[in-house]
């Protein structure tokens, strides 16, 4: 009888401990999950990017500007809470070795004959394990060669995978894979810094330095994420009338965004790191284009600006140092395409939308490949005549 009672007590205690442990794990997971959209401040409506005409608006002097919410659907690696102590201790370390280089990427005409540098260099932020997305870009909008007579070249920007230096052969494994991929496609740039969300700023300054050294004659550069769809013909048409010797940085321009002070946010920035109430105007990091002249000036300016852990805002700070204003373009959609409220039946994944745009952010590898086939394969989409878009910078509405 006593043995049965003891077994029954032990079973009950085991169940209680299991339930408590499950509840604890669930609570920790729910509290640490990174968020990609910052919730609205208490008493304010939720903030959503408008995708209609983006006319400049005068902010209400009595209303606080909304918080920075970013433009990347997911970080390249899980982040959790950001260790600002570690960041502040290491923030002055801004030079890392180049482990895999493409020194001949911009030499000659790309077809075996000597000539000037490429008309358009495509630079795509990626991570080591995202081979599928790189393949989708290579086989669709990021293909190298001549497009409408313009020479297009491509590189992918990578850092060291997180945790790869902990032994067990992991480091040798990813190094071998990336070296093989580099030999096959000649488009991998790999630096020795850890590839994390807040190290995207390091990726920014190292690419600017690399392009200035190895692509000094490039006319224009498109820089974006691996989860964007780019209509390269529309981009080249936009650049036809632009002078690569003049300053240009165009994209989805965000103005009057304020730092997030909430510690649980992925974009949390304490006042000790950035004390001003709003960020300078910046182009959404999902995709923007800049001239060769601006690239070289930015490389110099960014070397003099203190590093900041959000890469597109950091680039806005570098532009501010140069007294340059990013140029808004309505066909750069770094927030994706929202469902039109006036036509809820309309499908946003439709080639008639994408045919008139330059950049759309937040697509899977399969979506990129499918949209490319829908736009470039027979039969071509039957679309109504497009309405002229109204240019203007995107501004958060309070």
319 pLDDT higher than 90:
yes
With a CB cutoff of 8 Å and minimum separation 6, the contacts of 86 are none
Angstrom distance (rounded) from CA 114 to CA 44: 59
With a CB cutoff of 8 Å and minimum separation 6, the contacts of 223 are 123, 124, 125, 207, 287, 288, 289, 290
Any idea what the Cα angle at residue 360 is, between residues 358 and 365, rounded to 5°?
120
203 pLDDT higher than 90:
yes
pLDDT digits (tens, 9 = 90+) for 180-200: 999 999 999 999 999 988 789
Q: Do residues 90 and 302 make contact, with C-beta atoms less than 8 angstroms apart?
A: no
Across the strands, what pairs with 44? none
Compute the mean pLDDT over every residue in the chain, rounded to the nearest whole number. 78
Query: How far lies 203's CA from each of 32, 105, 191, 241, 398, in Å?
Result: 26, 18, 8, 30, 32
Pair of tokens at residue 365: 């590898």
pLDDT digits (tens, 9 = 90+) for 81-103: 666 666 666 666 788 999 999 99
109 pLDDT higher than 90:
no
Question: What's the pLDDT at 43?
Answer: 28
Angstrom distance (rounded) from CA 54 to CA 52: 6
Query: What percent of the chain is modeled with pLDDT above 90?
Result: 51
Name, of 72-76, 259-263, 325-329, the range with top average pLDDT.
Answer: 325-329
pLDDT digits (tens, 9 = 90+) for 334-382: 887 776 665 566 667 888 888 889 999 889 999 999 999 999 887 777 7
- The answer, as to whether pTM is greater than 0.85, is no
Question: What's the pLDDT at 266?
Answer: 81
Pair of tokens at residue 132: 């599928």
H helices of the chain, in order, are: 2-32, 84-90, 131-139, 170-185, 200-214, 232-239, 292-302, 311-321, 351-354, 365-376
User: What's the DSSP call for residue 153?
Assistant: E
Longest Cα separation, the chain: 94
Q: How many helices (H) and strands (E) does the chain have?
A: 10, 13
293 pLDDT higher than 80:
yes
pLDDT digits (tens, 9 = 90+) for 110-151: 554 456 799 999 999 999 999 999 999 999 999 999 999 999
Angstrom distance (rounded) from CA 217 to CA 301: 19
pLDDT digits (tens, 9 = 90+) for 252-288: 999 999 999 988 888 889 898 899 999 999 999 899 9
Q: Do residues 270 and 301 make contact, with C-beta atoms less than 8 angstroms apart?
A: no
Question: What's the pLDDT at 377?
Answer: 81
Angstrom distance (rounded) from CA 160 to CA 204: 15
User: What's the DSSP call for residue 349?
Assistant: S
Provide the pLDDT confidence category of residue 32 given band limits of 50, 70 and 90: very low
Nearest Cα neighbor of 288 from 216, 337, 238, 246 is: 238
């Amino acid at each position: 009888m006593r043995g049965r009672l003891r077994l029954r007590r032990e079973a009950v205690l085991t169940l209680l401990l299991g339930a408590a442990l499950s509840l604890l794990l669930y609570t920790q997971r729910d509290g640490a999950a990174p968020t990609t959209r910052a919730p609205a401040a208490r008493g304010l409506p939720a903030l959503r990017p408008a995708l209609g005409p983006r006319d400049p608006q005068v902010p209400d002097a009595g209303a606080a500007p909304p918080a920075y919410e970013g433009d990347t659907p997911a970080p390249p690696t899980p982040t959790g809470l950001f260790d600002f102590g570690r960041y502040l201790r290491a923030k002055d370390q801004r030079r890392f070795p180049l482990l895999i280089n493409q020194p001949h990427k911009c030499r000659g005409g790309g077809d075996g004959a000597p000539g000037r540098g490429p008309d358009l260099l495509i630079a795509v932020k990626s991570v080591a394990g995202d081979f599928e997305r790189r393949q989708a870009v290579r086989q669709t909008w990021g293909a190298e060669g001549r497009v409408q007579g313009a020479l297009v070249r491509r590189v992918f920007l990578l850092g060291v995978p997180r945790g790869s230096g902990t032994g067990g052969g992991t480091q040798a494994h990813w190094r071998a894979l990336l070296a093989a991929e580099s030999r096959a496609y000649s488009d991998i740039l790999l630096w020795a810094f850890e590839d994390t969300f807040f190290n995207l700023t390091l990726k920014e300054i190292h690419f600017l330095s690399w392009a200035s050294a190895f692509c000094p004659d490039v006319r224009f550069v498109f820089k974006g994420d691996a989860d964007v769809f780019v209509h390269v013909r529309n981009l080249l048409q936009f650049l036809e009338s632009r002078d690569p010797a003049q300053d240009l940085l165009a994209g989805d321009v965000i103005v009057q965004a304020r730092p997030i002070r909430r510690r649980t946010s992925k974009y949390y920035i304490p006042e000790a790191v950035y004390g001003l109430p709003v960020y300078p105007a910046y182009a959404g990091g999902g995709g923007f284009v800049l001239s060769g002249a601006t690239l070289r000036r930015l490389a110099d300016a960014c070397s003099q600006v203190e590093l900041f852990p959000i890469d597109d805002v950091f680039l806005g700070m570098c532009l501010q140092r140069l007294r340059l204003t990013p140029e808004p373009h309505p066909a750069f959609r770094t927030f994706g395409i929202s469902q039109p409220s006036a036509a809820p039946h309309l499908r946003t994944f439709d080639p008639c939308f994408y045919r008139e745009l330059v950049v759309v952010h937040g697509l899977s590898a399969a979506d990129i490949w499918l949209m490319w086939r829908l736009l470039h394969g027979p039969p071509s989409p039957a679309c109504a005549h497009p309405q002229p878009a109204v240019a203007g910078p995107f501004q958060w509405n309070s």
